[in-house]
Amino acid sequence: MVTISSVLEDIQLLDAESRAMVVEILKKRQIEERRDEIARSAEQSLSEYREGKLKPDTAEVSCPEMSLRKSKLNGKDYYQRKATLSKWI
């Protein structure tokens, strides 16, 4: 049976450049897996929407924290809002 510990021990035997490559490959694979997961979720949501199982909502209803952020920004001038929004993006 392969364990995390045995895999790490094997990776440690590689030279530094090869270990860095392993890290990059794993990062890219995780990104691809997440993209696939998001795509599957989007396809399922679209399918449910087309079947009438979902109804459209505003961003404030779907994402209440956006409403909260928006209300916090209402008292600030344009440049303060822009600076604050850029931190969230």
Residue 15 near residue 22, CB atoms below 8 Å: no
Of 71 and 78, more confident: 71
What per-residue confidence (pLDDT) applies to 71?
A: 58
Query: Residues of 52-72 as b/e, b for ≥16 C-beta within 10 angstroms?
Result: eeeeeeeeeeeeeeeeeeeee
Of 59 and 3, more confident: 3
- Contacts of 32-37 with C-beta under 8 Å, sequence gap 24+, read none
State which of 11-15, 45-49, 58-62 shows the largest mean pLDDT: 11-15
Q: If residue 46 lies in a helix (H) or strand (E), which one and from where to where?
A: helix 16-50
| Model confidence at 56: pLDDT above 80 | no
Map tokens 């600030």 to a residue. 76
Neighbours of 47 (CB within 10 A): 11
Out of 17-31, 43-57, 64-78, least confident range: 64-78
What per-residue confidence (pLDDT) applies to 69?
A: 59
